[in-house]
Structures are given as structure tokens and as C-alpha cells.
Homo-oligomer: A and B are copies of this chain.
Amino acid sequence: MATLPTAVKIVEVGPRDGLQNEKEFVPTAVKIELIDRLSKAGFPNVEAASFVSPKWVPQMADGAEVMAGIARREGALYSVLTPNLRGLEGALAAHADEIVIFGAASEAFSQRNINCSIAESIERFVPVAQAAKAAGVRIRGSVSCSFGCPYQGEVPVASVVDVVQRFAALGCDEIDIADTIGVGTAKRVHEVFEAVTKVFPRERLSGHFHDTYGQALANIYAALEEGIAIFHASVAGLGGCPYAKGATGNVATEDVLYLMNGLGIQTGVDLDQVVEAGDFISKSIGRANASRAGKALLAKKQSAAECA
């Protein structure tokens, strides 16, 4: 059995990545309560908002209000997505601890989604990264489509490595390798992380997995075996897959925590409180809870209450 990390950092991305595709606007107060519950549960890092044009992502239009309204936990980092300099200004005004910039490892995805090459898309972040550095704000780079693309299918490992190197050159403090459409499996996870750890420090790489094909936890386990110790997860599995209607998206935080607890890997996060937060947000937005562990633990609690 491979030696696994003894502690990991779980980045809770539900409030931003999870909610951003919700059609119905989620009230600012609900977003704030969700983040506050997650902060209390102990997450060291919450992806809290996006400073993107409300024309593109209306759900995230209240980023400034959300950031102003949350009760920040001492020591925790609150990250926001910033697609451009205007977004960065919003992030700085909101006292974000970390900005998130992004690029695809798939040329076809980049062309179809932002109408430019991968190289150009990352080049555009140069002034954003410089201004963030000057302001003393952390930068995270997100490499989407690292395990496959809805348009071109296969994504070469070399493309992932290339984007990681470009983000490293921009001064990224952390880089996440994202399986945007959830098609990766454990062998590929080993291959990708083996390659990217050669060009960027292992301890600053994270895994962002989607559960679209049910593979996320096996992939996280494979990444742990590669010594990766930062993982993204979304409470209640918030966030569907925009490329397959009705399919599952982000891996559920509860399932990830259940795995880490079972492996004896420290997270600093209280699973019970996360289960409650997942129940809260699922009910608030009228969605089925997509966390298997969440559902099972809630059902257990329910039956215990009925027996009492």
C-alpha cells in the first residue's frame, strides 16, 4: 500500500463552482449562510464568489455583497474567480484572499468557449496576475479539461503540463488539475500527476474531480497515492454537468470527507456540520442532495430520530 499524505486541504467550491449554473437566482442571504456554515465546519479554503460580468453569469452578480456579508473564520482563505482586470478590481475591493484564473488544457475547448488559443487565453491573465501579486493576493490557476474534453475527446498529458508551466510562469501559488467533465480514471490520474509534479511542486498542486461517471473518489484515491494533498469538493455535490443534462458534476464534499476520515487523513473539517450544510443548501435551492454519504448520514439521523 502506497504511503498517503497524513493531512489534506479540502477546498470547498460549492458556493461558487457549485451554484454558478443554478438557473434560479440563489438569494444573497442563502449564499452567505452557506459560506458561514462551511466556515464553521472548518474548511481552510472556500471558493466564495466570482467577479465575472453578470451578463455571463447572472447567478454570481452579488459577489461583492456575498464577500461583504460573510463572517470570515480566522486563518481560512476565501477565493474568488477573476476572469479579467475588472474582476480583479472587484476581488481586491472585496478583500479576497486568493484569486482564481483559469485555462483549458484542450485547444478545442479554449477555441469553442473563449474563441482564442490556450496560449492566448493565459497570456490575457498576465496583467491580472501582476496586479494580484502587487496587492499581495494569492493566485490559483485552474487547468480545466485536464482529463478529457467534450469537443476534442482525448487531451494529451503534455498539454496539461504545458498549461501548468504557463501558470507557474505567471506566479501561481497553487494550481488545480481539473477533470471538468469527469471522464478521467485512476490510471490516467497517476499519469497526469506523475507528469505535472515534475514541473510544479507537488504540495501546491490540487485535484479537482467531477463525479459524472462515478470515478471521482477512485481518482482522489489515486491522486493521494501520488502524494497530492489538496482536493476540491462541493457540498451536497452542488453543480451539475453542463455537458450532460441530469448527470452528476462536482464530487460531493461529504463523500470526500468520509473517505479521508476512513483513511485516517486529517482535514480539520467536521463531517456532521458539512452534512447539515448540504441539507440546508439542497432544501434552499430545491434540489436533491447529490452526496451519497450526505444522504446516508441524513437517513441514519432521521431513523434515529424516529426511533427516539
Distance between Cα atoms of A238 and B214 in the complex (Å): 15
Is A76 part of the contact surface with B, judged by Cβ < 8 Å? no
Q: When the two chains form their complex, are residues B255 and A213 in contact, meaning their CB atoms are under 8 A apart?
A: yes
**Chain A residues bordering chain B, tally (CB within 8 A):** 45
**How far does the Cβ of A233 sit from chain B's closest Cβ, in whole Å?**
11
Q: Which of B244, B263, B291 contacts A187 (CB 8 A)?
A: B263
| Chain B residues with CB under 8 A of A184 | 262
Q: Which of B1, B214, B299, B302 contacts A293 (CB 8 A)?
A: B214
**How far does the Cβ of A155 sit from chain B's closest Cβ, in whole Å?**
14
| Chain B residues with CB under 8 A of A212 | 292-293, 296
Q: A252-B214, A259-B215 are in contact. Are A221 and B295 (CB under 8 A)?
A: no
Q: Which residue of B lies closest to A247 (CB)?
A: B296
Q: When the two chains form their complex, are residues B296 and A213 in contact, meaning their CB atoms are under 8 A apart?
A: yes
Distance between Cα atoms of A259 and B259 in the complex (Å): 18
Interface string of A240-271 (1 = CB under 8 A from B): 01011111100010110011011110000000
Distance between Cα atoms of A184 and B185 in the complex (Å): 21
Q: Which residue of B lies closest to A221 (CB)?
A: B218
Distance between Cα atoms of A293 and B302 in the complex (Å): 29
Copy count, this protein chain = 2
User: Which residues 189-220 in A have Cβ within 8 Å of B in the complex?
Assistant: 190, 211-215, 217-218, 220
Q: Which of B213, B220, B303 contacts A292 (CB 8 A)?
A: B213
Distance between Cα atoms of A82 and B295 in the complex (Å): 32
Q: When the two chains form their complex, are residues B303 and A186 in contact, meaning their CB atoms are under 8 A apart?
A: no
Q: Which residue of B lies closest to A301 (CB)?
A: B244
Q: When the two chains form their complex, are residues B295 and A246 in contact, meaning their CB atoms are under 8 A apart?
A: yes
User: Which residues 52-70 in A have Cβ within 8 Å of B in the complex?
Assistant: none
Is A222 part of the contact surface with B, judged by Cβ < 8 Å? yes
Report A's interface with B, CB cutoff 8 A: 1-2, 182, 184-188, 190, 211-215, 217-218, 220-222, 225, 241, 243-248, 252, 254-255, 258-259, 261-264, 291-293, 295-296, 299-300, 302-303
- Would you mind naming 25 contact pairs between A and B with Cβ atoms under 8 Å apart? A1-B225, A182-B296, A184-B262, A185-B259, A185-B261, A185-B263, A187-B262, A188-B262, A213-B292, A213-B293, A213-B296, A214-B254, A214-B255, A215-B262, A215-B293, A217-B217, A217-B218, A218-B221, A218-B259, A221-B222, A245-B299, A245-B302, A247-B292, A247-B299, A248-B295
